[in-house]
Amino acid sequence: MTQPATNQADRSPTALRRSGSVHPIVSGFYPDPTICPVGEDYYLAHSSFEYFPGAPIFHSKDLVEWTQIGNILTRRNQFRRGDGKPSAGIYGSTLRHREGRFWFITTNVSDYNAGQLIVHTADPAGEWSDPIHIPEAIGIDPDLCWDDTGQCYLTWHALDFTTGEQSIRQAPLDLATGRFTAPDYPLWQGSGLPAAEGPHLYQIGDYWYLSLAEGGTERGHCITVARSTSPRGPFESCPSNPIFSRRSTIHPVQNVGHADLVLTPQGEWAAVYLGVRPRGSTPGFHVLGRETFLAGIEWRDGWPVFVEDRFDVPVTSTDFFDDFTSPELDMRWIVPGGEPATAVQLAESGGITILPPSSGGAGLLCTRVRDLQWTAEAAISGSGRFLLRLDDRHWYGLSLEAGRVKAQARIGGVQQDLAEIPATTNIVTFRIDVVPPSSAPVPVGDAGPDEVILSLIDGGMARELARLDGRYLSTEVASGFTGRVLAVAANSHPAVIHSVSYQGHPD
Ligand code: 6LW
């Protein structure tokens, strides 16, 4: 039986919408959060899958307001490309700080035979080290902890990528070499639900607490915990597991799991965790990927209890205007399966040239969508595309080539031109609007999560070329672990992108 995560008397949708747990602290496709405190500061990192640079890292002073300070994996020798397929690449991770140094351990599933991957640094906003691989630890979701003797332990979700056999395992680790200093062994395997993942160990008082995500990262996701007097176990399962879940509830944030606990300088505990905001008629469609949320943690009878509305999380602006005049690309820009340096040339007069894939580059540049409703525009000349994409088989967009403007859609194996008109100016401005669905998601309705409007700005007015159901750009339809991104791309010729603007429209 799940303990009531809070003592809220009123759990109606209206009441829940007022609770601070409705808004993410980092909105958009920033999943698998891992957090560490350093003095009065907090640092937060995320999985990033096939996108490069990988593992975005954020900073905060209050756990609520976060600013991205960089990406951890910025060199290909840290993040070997592999097949670059959708939802491959960088999975769940752990960020820790010890004796003046930051440690980040993760899995590149595009290079899974290399085992877990560790990088470290003294400056989290700067360059991180070359990788230390741990070939004895095949699987995902690695965690690092240290006991009072300074012995480091690697705990991870051992996964045989061919047989699918899986378990939570641990080994004492030599961080300098990435080698086990003794054979690995099984640890607590969770409360019995499938997909026990995301292990994190914390030494708190007389106990070592081991938290897990169980149930899989969909609607059955939950957080469980066990404790022991040793990091090696044996572990005692919490009698009220799962200690946090939204399964079988009407809460607007679902799929909650994959938590990491953090101790504040004031001696209180909190937790970051992932969740999704599904919209539309059943089964509900989430389009921004898994986002990062914040809860308080109270201790009752020696066990952690989630207090989901401890923090009031405001909606913060995610708006931007980029004319690419800065000497380097802004850290928001990422490339699926490739690297910006081979896809993009900064033009001296501002703007960028995106080279077509035939040149050997990825042919596009992306940035995460961070709001449920928003408007974006891109000024393009010559040849080019402006897309809302989930992956290379699920996207809606506008294309300029040979003086012709097209609205297009790709859903799975089907691609369709939806409208075609002549371009009326050398530099065209494409606009994408995402708005609520026109049909209300009544209990038995068939509404998608939103509608995507593709327009050409013509004579200062938005000329609508297509209006599409957003459900086909959701994770429930496309599958995988990522979320929507905005993309500017080349056609068969190089694209000149003069500027991109984005404006969120909060609920
Ligand atoms: C993550 C693991 C998971 O590493 O999905 O569903 C993986 N659970 O914890 C990618 O987010």
Whose C-alpha lies nearest to ligand 1, atom 3? 217
Global confidence as pTM: 0.95
Nearest to 366 by CA among 388, 347, 348: 388
Asked if residue 247 and residue 227 are part of one domain, the reply reads: yes
**8 found inside a domain:** no
**418 found inside a domain:** yes
Q: Which pLDDT score, from 0 to 100, does residue 339 have?
A: 87
Q: Pull the structure tokens for residue 506.
A: 């909060």
Asked if residue 250 and residue 131 are part of one domain, the reply reads: yes
CATH number of the domain bearing residue 284: 2.115.10.20
**6 found inside a domain:** no
pLDDT band, residue 19 (cuts 50/70/90): low
- Determine whether 272 is exposed, middle or buried from the number of CB atoms within 10 Å of its CB (0-12, 13-18, 19+): buried
Distance 480 CA to ligand 1 centre (A): 10
Q: Across residues 267-288, what is the average pLDDT?
A: 96
Asked if residue 342 and residue 273 are part of one domain, the reply reads: no
Domain boundary among 273, 295, 314: 314
Least reliable range by pLDDT among 42-46, 65-69, 134-138, 312-316: 312-316
Whose C-alpha lies nearest to ligand 1, atom 5? 217
Q: Across residues 464-471, what is the average pLDDT?
A: 98
pLDDT band, residue 16 (cuts 50/70/90): low
pLDDT band, residue 91 (cuts 50/70/90): very high
Whose C-alpha lies nearest to ligand 1, atom 2? 92
Ligand 1 pocket mutation pick from 46, 217, 273 by most atoms within 8 angstroms of CB = 217
The response to whether residue 399 sits with its C-beta less than 6 Å from ligand 1 reads: no
Q: Across residues 425-444, what is the average pLDDT?
A: 89
Least reliable range by pLDDT among 249-258, 272-281, 342-351, 382-391: 342-351
Asked if residue 325 and residue 261 are part of one domain, the reply reads: no
Q: Pull the structure tokens for residue 316.
A: 């913060």
CA distances from 440 to 52, 280, 374, 450, 470 (A): 38, 8, 19, 10, 14
Q: Pull the structure tokens for residue 278.
A: 């599904």
Residue 234 to residue 477: CA distance in whole angstroms? 41
The response to whether residue 82 sits with its C-beta less than 6 Å from ligand 1 reads: no
Distance 91 CA to ligand 1 centre (A): 6
Q: Is-cis flag, bond preceding 135, omega within 30?
A: no
Q: Across residues 25-54, what is the average pLDDT?
A: 98
Residue 73 to residue 153: CA distance in whole angstroms? 23
Least reliable range by pLDDT among 15-24, 49-58, 191-200, 441-450: 15-24
Whose C-alpha lies nearest to ligand 1, atom 1? 92
Residue 283 to residue 280: CA distance in whole angstroms? 8
Q: Which pLDDT score, from 0 to 100, does residue 288 have?
A: 98
Nearest to 202 by CA among 213, 193, 211: 211
Q: Across residues 222-241, what is the average pLDDT?
A: 98
Determine which one of 143, 197, 260, 377 is catalytic: 197
Which domain covers residue 364, as residue numbers?
320-505
**177 found inside a domain:** yes
User: Is the Cβ–Cβ distance between 253 and 221 less than 8 Å?
Assistant: no
pLDDT band, residue 444 (cuts 50/70/90): confident
Asked if residue 336 and residue 309 are part of one domain, the reply reads: no
Distance 90 CA to ligand 1 centre (A): 10
CATH number of the domain bearing residue 494: 2.60.120.200
Asked if residue 205 and residue 332 are part of one domain, the reply reads: no
Asked if residue 411 and residue 270 are part of one domain, the reply reads: no
Residue position matching structure tokens 């068969």: 492
Least reliable range by pLDDT among 10-14, 20-24, 137-141, 253-257: 10-14
- Determine whether 85 is exposed, middle or buried from the number of CB atoms within 10 Å of its CB (0-12, 13-18, 19+): middle
Q: Which atom of ligand 1 is nearest to the CA of 107?
A: 4
Report DSSP letters for 377-393, one per residue: EEEEESSEEEEEEEETT
The response to whether residue 455 sits with its C-beta less than 6 Å from ligand 1 reads: no
User: Is the Cβ–Cβ distance between 404 and 420 less than 8 Å?
Assistant: yes
Asked if residue 330 and residue 293 are part of one domain, the reply reads: no
Ligand 1 pocket mutation pick from 46, 197, 219, 260 by most atoms within 8 angstroms of CB = 197
Number of folded domains that form the chain:
2
Residue 43 to residue 470: CA distance in whole angstroms? 33
Whose C-alpha lies nearest to ligand 1, atom 6? 217
**95 found inside a domain:** yes
184 in helix, strand or coil? coil
Asked if residue 393 and residue 497 are part of one domain, the reply reads: yes
Asked if the model's pLDDT at residue 1 lies above 50, the reply is: no
Bridge partners of residue 236, in order along the sequence: 227
CA distances from 362 to 70, 118, 206, 494 (A): 21, 27, 52, 12
Residue 48 to residue 71: CA distance in whole angstroms? 10
Q: Which pLDDT score, from 0 to 100, does residue 399 have?
A: 98
Residue 249 to residue 251: CA distance in whole angstroms? 6
* Known catalytic membership, residue 65: no
Q: Which pLDDT score, from 0 to 100, does residue 13 have?
A: 57
Asked if the model's pLDDT at residue 407 lies above 50, the reply is: yes
Asked if residue 328 and residue 310 are part of one domain, the reply reads: no
Asked if the model's pLDDT at residue 46 lies above 60, the reply is: yes
Q: Across residues 215-234, what is the average pLDDT?
A: 97
Q: Pull the structure tokens for residue 289.
A: 């990927």
Alpha helical stretches, state H, 108-161: none
Q: Which pLDDT score, from 0 to 100, does residue 15 have?
A: 57
Q: Across residues 478-484, what is the average pLDDT?
A: 97
Residue position matching structure tokens 């429209």: 505
User: Is the Cβ–Cβ distance between 464 and 453 less than 8 Å?
Assistant: yes
Domain boundary among 287, 314, 341: 314
Q: Pull the structure tokens for residue 105.
A: 């351990």
Asked if residue 80 and residue 106 are part of one domain, the reply reads: yes
Q: Which pLDDT score, from 0 to 100, does residue 506 have?
A: 87
Residues 6 or more apart whose Cβ sits within 8 Å of residue 501: 319, 320, 321, 322, 376, 377, 378
- Mean model confidence pLDDT for the chain: 94
Q: Which atom of ligand 1 is nearest to the CA of 32?
A: 11
Burial 124-136 (b: 16+ CB within 10 A, else e): beeebeebbbbee
Asked if residue 421 and residue 304 are part of one domain, the reply reads: no
Q: Which pLDDT score, from 0 to 100, does residue 12 have?
A: 60
Q: Across residues 281-300, what is the average pLDDT?
A: 96
The response to whether residue 32 sits with its C-beta less than 6 Å from ligand 1 reads: yes
Amino acid 234 reads: P
pLDDT band, residue 166 (cuts 50/70/90): very high
* Known catalytic membership, residue 197: yes
Whose C-alpha lies nearest to ligand 1, atom 8? 217
